Chain A
Amino acid sequence: MARQRKSKRQQQLQALIMAPIDWLEERSGLVGAVKYFLFRRVPAETNWFHTLGSATLTAFLVQLVTGVILAMYYKPDPESAYSSIQTITNDLTLGWLVRGMHRWGASVFIILLFLHMGRVFLFGAYKYPRELNWLIGVILLTLALAEGLTGYLLPWDQTAYWATVVAININANAPIAGPFLGDFLRGGAEIGGDTLARFYSLHMLVIPGGLIGLITLHLYLVIRLGVTEPPWTRAAAGYEFVEDGRGPVRKGLVEPRPRGNGSIGTPVREEVRP
């Protein structure tokens, strides 16, 4: 019983740490939610391929943080946009790092999005009941590309300007909505200050808002529906783990019970029987 006799100091410490947590839990249930998130079970075969999603999230968080810092120094008007970019890059302490990380983080974000999508496709992780999360993922990809397009104009240099001229012309080619879209993006007949302000607002308010909302929904569905096992696992091959009557499941005990693989109706092979 020596364990339970704590010194007064220990009791105080415990009260100091636990009391606020209990207070929060009682009023919000958030502590329980975090515990559920951390200790929920994922398939035993979860591996490095499954890190691509969280890696994409990390790249997005880098974009958020560096973007917020850049917004403190960037001036979205044609008179001073270019010089503010030069100041950030050359004069501001570690400004080069913030802008460099934002610029190259964008490429890393896009690459990781494609890799993550490729992983989900090859693992067949978009199948029932995860179809909705695939849809959200594709919308996230298009929003990320829209971030790339709108962010590209902001340095307001020649590359930015003329690439955007062509990009807007291409958007304006779309049937029906095209001309309106072109006018909306341009903010007038010519690309100028209004265009820059529009792209800035889209780039740092509208599209990130959509991204944050959809990423939250995406993660909620991942937690709710669980992580898909890799396609090379026995579970993916149609095996079902059964109890052997003595209580816990014996490791590796599988019942080679055909479960019907949809239209192809693959019979489960006998030789895999343990």
Chain B
Amino acid sequence: MSSEEQRRQFELYKKNVARRGKPFYPYAMFHDTVMSLVVVSVIVGLASLWYFTAGEEPGDSGVLGPRYADESDPGTISFTPRPDWYFYFLFYLLRIFKWPESVFLATVGIPTILLIILLLVPFFDRRRERRLARRPVAVVAALLVVASMGVLTYKGATAKESIASENLAKVPEWQATQNLPQDALPGARIFASLTCLNCHSYLGTGGGFAGAPDLSAEGSKGRGIDWQIGHLKDPPAYTPNSPMPSFAGLTDQQLRQLAVFLEASKGPKGGG
């Protein structure tokens, strides 16, 4: 459409509103005021529900979660990285891509592309048409975006966190399947009781949250004990683009035990 035509349309709009429109106050402002009161009431309601159903102890969760978790401890080794709910859709993208080769797409690539597309919407849809029935592409695109963000958010919200006691019970099973030597068992227990399995999977257990690589056959990659220890201390230095947090808070002995366990994990078919 020519810009001449666009300007003419806008002049018509202004004429139309001047003749047929109604003043903002009191008509539109009434709606706005009612809506604002609803918004503030909902916020107060959520705050009350959150506070009165949760206890004073850290982690004592109510309907809307705890008032606070335990105090942060950089030296801790068991934690679940979980963002606020409106980032779940981004967080869950991490599961869809193969680590670490293409995880870059999930962490930076796709969000950046989506943002650029969103910014450019008015520049590739330049028609005047605004009726929904005549904008099938826009409507379908909107529905797809809403559906995919909804599904990703839901999947992120319901992703299972691994529970240390359940994982520990599986250690004998791992030992049998993987033919683990005795010196790999302390590492297996550390592995099971840390939160590794929130992101990684091992012989079908875990991986529910971030979909990091399966570690069942980590030992068959020939990386060696030193590589494993170094990687645990500073993951991005060893596998670029890795969002895995550092486990430098572990003791040297724990790191070595974990590395021995990982190197001993040759995969169910590889045998000892």
Which A positions have Cβ atoms within 8 angstroms of B? Answer: 37-44, 46-48, 50-52, 54-55, 58-59, 62, 78, 82, 85-86, 89-90, 96-97, 99-101, 103-108, 110-112, 118, 121-131, 134-135, 138, 142, 145, 148-149, 152, 155-163, 165-167, 169-170, 172-175, 178, 190-192, 226-229, 231-232, 235-237, 240-241, 249, 259-264, 266
| B244 lies within 8 A of A169 (CB) | yes
Q: Which residues of A contact B155 (CB under 8 A)?
A: none
> Which B residues, 71 to 120, have Cβ-Cβ distances below 8 Å to chain A?
71-74, 76, 79-87, 104, 107-108, 112, 115, 118-119
Decide: A152 near B68, CB < 8 A? Known: A135-B119, A173-B107, A241-B16: no
| B74 lies within 8 A of A173 (CB) | no
Residue of A39, A103, A122, A241 near B25 (CB, 8 A) is: A39
CA distance A6 to B121 in the complex (A): 60
Q: Which residues of B contact A82 (CB under 8 A)?
A: 68, 71-72
| A157 lies within 8 A of B71 (CB) | yes
Q: Which residues of B contact A43 (CB under 8 A)?
A: 16-17, 20-21
| A62 lies within 8 A of B43 (CB) | yes
Residue of B1, B15, B79, B104 near A162 (CB, 8 A) is: B79
| A129 lies within 8 A of B130 (CB) | no
Which B positions have Cβ atoms within 8 angstroms of A? Answer: 1, 5-6, 9-10, 12-25, 27-29, 31-32, 34-36, 38-40, 42-44, 46-48, 50-51, 56, 58, 64, 67-74, 76, 79-87, 104, 107-108, 112, 115, 118-119, 121-123, 125-132, 134-135, 138-139, 142, 146, 236, 241-246
* B-side interface mostly: helix
| Smallest beta-carbon distance B198→chain A, Å | 10
**Given A101-B44, A104-B43, A166-B245, 17 further pairs, Cβ under 8 A:** A40-B24, A44-B20, A82-B72, A90-B56, A97-B47, A121-B142, A127-B127, A148-B84, A157-B68, A167-B87, A170-B243, A174-B107, A226-B13, A236-B130, A249-B19, A259-B9, A263-B127
Residue of A58, A227, A235, A263 near B1 (CB, 8 A) is: A263
| B81 lies within 8 A of A51 (CB) | no
Which among A46, A86, A232 has the greatest number of chain B C-beta atoms within 10 A?
Answer: A46
Q: Which residues of B contact A55 (CB under 8 A)?
A: 32, 35-36, 38-39
| B44 lies within 8 A of A157 (CB) | no
CA distance A237 to B135 in the complex (A): 13
Q: Which residues of A contact B24 (CB under 8 A)?
A: 37-42
